[in-house]
A and B are shown apart, each in its own frame.
Chain A
């Protein structure tokens, strides 16, 4: 836990999510805990922001409309932002989907299933990115 907290390098968390109500809730929950949040409403926008900025971590929905989904964001990070490799949290609305399951099992990426309690979210964020 201490080692992970040591990972916190400052900078905002990039939140990639297409659902406005979910963005609002996540932003509120995270900002109250002292995290800075930058949000992107699609996978493509997320990748654009990743290319141009530094982030402490990425929280991304898996299933999003558009050309780039959560798995692809994950893949891009693995390739282009090695420092963020272990700083990804995925959010899933449908873990029943076999593709999603296969991807999660294979990558070992932490995933939080909608709907979730605020506490579940915060503990996973602290565990993965460290405290702000």
Chain B
């Protein structure tokens, strides 16, 4: 291929060399001659006609020529070579003449086959001259071919460029075009040479009035501008160089088709601006270099230009320290993902943003530019913090309430329990995933299940009072409310249960209400008794005075006796009332309740025996002493015994009263049970004036006085109807007389 190119480029060199060989052969009276030209390892042989016919002879000749290093050298031709030569005359020697370039590089060898005559001095000089001439010619040929080659290469390169290239002269005529431009017009490059530049107007125009559609200002050595046709857009780079003559100028236009790039740019800008997220390019100190429309909108500016103004940035960053920290982090990492930054809008309101940022560094590694994408999360942020606040608030309520709050699924399984549940001693493992109903007392489970079903059907159940097992196994009295909780489709998907242990509350409230009632009645009774006593004193006194009067008749005396009796009875009632209201301090001393009870029974033993009422003493014999007033306690027991006696009498069967004493914790408990008629309303029995007895048989104050006495002792009195269905039981609890209690009682008494 290289040889083929060589041959094509140096078309005239073989002819010249053959001519030279012929002339040299004639001038030196030789039989035959030629020139070997060296191109690297290759050797080209250019000889006159009638030379050797065998390849071996030619090879011998070439190898000898290459081996010859002297300027002129004569070599005898061996007989076997001579035999192959087709010459009529006998060949004697071959003369080699070195052809060297000016830098002494050997370019080739001239060889001449002669007879055996040696060369004369003139002939040798002639050979030197011929060699010099050949060297000069060869050198010229070589330079020319190099020039030709590089010129062709340049044209090929120009042609290979896809940009359009056109060169024109001062007369606006085309000097050259490259193949790209010519093929755009559908002609060969040569065809355009000499044509007017105006013929290229169809490609594109800059809009100037000049004959060249690509020229604008011919005085400038370089120009760059955009020229466009209907379809294409070109970036035209123009350079002007002096031409071959002084008054000529060559203008070279390079037209780069930037249609696609322009389109890409346009699309990029369109995308940049149509994106709803903010996009920005900024300097490291926070000034925006370019922003999209979304950014302008987000920050509340009227235009991009306004936002890009340098004096905007101080307003933009409300916390400059945060900005410094941000830059440090960005400098370390190069990229920041989901970075939260608060910016200030034009109107001063705050904008919460979420940003993804990339740092663009210069060659020294410093941040040259900051690029990023920005989301407006103000709404989310506000919503989120609101949600958080609400959640915190609800959590606080859930955790600080004194009620147990549980969430059940519609199957009744516990899915959530608030902190209070665990504070009450329940374990997470025994609540979560378990049925709440299992904690409810067996007899109440039906009620609970019914309530759960009602709630699952969308109705609220309020203040259901059930007995529920506590974490320690004891049963408590609970107030339970159930509310349905609905999903987005408004279907009930769970039930919120609020449970409050009201055992203590119920008891305390009942006790409080009762003692308050007692105190009020006490004050009332005391006042009434006092007021009644005055007129009573007068009635009684005057009745006595009348009875002393001998003038009063017998029948009048009888009437007066009745007045006397009734006054006495009224006095008793008032005494009862006063006993009830009595605020006399209780004597505090150790009292053996068994003994007090035996004495009390003795008081009524006659009645019991005569009416067949059996009294069973079930006493704990080693009973600890109680602390109290034996007289008052006897009054209490007597009262209860009287009631029991009346109750068994009324029942009409064989009466039985059982008295049981025992110590329970710090209390002495006395339980008096009978098999009588029972109590109609055990809750009201300690209320003053509540009586089941016939009118005139009792004042209805007895048990309320008992209540007052027991309470004054720091004890308790309760009663209920026996479960067996017969009679009732009264329980009195009086504190044990411990050393401490005794000491406390003494101190109290000693106080003035």
Contact = CB atoms under 8 A, between A and B. Distances in A.
A68 to B, nearest CB: 18
Contacts of A119: 544
A114 B536 contact: yes
Nearest to B540: A115
Interface in A73-116: 93-98, 101, 114-116
Interface of B is mostly: helix
A131 to B, nearest CB: 17
Contact of B544 (A21, A63, A98, A117): A117
B538 interface: yes
Contact of A94 (B530, B535, B539, B548): B530
Contacts of B695: none
B584 A93 contact: no
B132 to A, nearest CB: 162
Most buried by B among A28, A93, A97, A115: A115
Most buried by A among B544, B567, B571: B544
A14 interface: no
Contacts of B539: 115
A96 B579 contact: yes
B581 interface: yes
A5 B678 CA distance: 59
B537 A115 contact: yes
Given A96-B581, A96-B584, A115-B571, A29 B541 contact: yes
Most buried by B among A19, A93, A98, A119: A93
A115 B533 contact: yes
A115 B567 contact: yes
Contact of A19 (B534, B579, B581, B584): B534
Nearest to A63: B530
Interface in A1-54: 19, 21-22, 24-26, 28-29, 32
B578 A94 contact: yes
B579 A25 contact: no
A32 B534 contact: no
Contacts of A115: 533, 536-537, 539-541, 567, 571
Interface in B610-663: none
Interface string B529-570: 110011111111110110010000000000000000001000
B78 interface: no
A29 B533 CA distance: 18
Interface in B569-589: 571, 578-579, 581-585
A118 interface: yes
Given A32-B548, A94-B529, A115-B567, A24 B583 contact: no
Contacts of B582: 96
Given A63-B530, A94-B526, A96-B578, A22 B538 contact: yes
Nearest to B582: A96
Contacts of A118: 541, 544-545, 548
A28 B583 CA distance: 34
B526 A93 contact: no
B530 A21 contact: no
Contact of B538 (A21, A94, A97): A21
B533 A94 contact: yes
Given A93-B530, A96-B529, A98-B583, A29 B545 contact: yes
Given A24-B538, A25-B537, A98 B585 contact: yes
Given A115-B540, A117-B540, A96 B526 contact: yes
A93 B533 contact: yes
Most buried by A among B526, B541, B542: B541
23 contacts: A22-B534, A26-B541, A29-B544, A29-B545, A63-B530, A93-B534, A94-B526, A94-B530, A94-B533, A95-B578, A96-B526, A96-B583, A98-B583, A101-B584, A114-B536, A114-B537, A115-B540, A115-B541, A117-B540, A117-B544, A118-B544, A118-B545, A119-B544
Interface of B: 526, 529-530, 533-542, 544-545, 548, 567, 571, 578-579, 581-585
Q: Which 10 A-B pairs have the closest CB atoms?
A: A25-B541, A21-B538, A118-B544, A114-B537, A115-B537, A93-B533, A115-B536, A96-B578, A114-B533, A115-B540
Given A22-B541, A97-B583, 17 more contacts: A21-B537, A22-B538, A26-B541, A28-B541, A32-B545, A32-B548, A96-B529, A96-B579, A97-B526, A98-B583, A101-B584, A114-B533, A114-B534, A115-B571, A117-B540, A117-B541, A118-B544
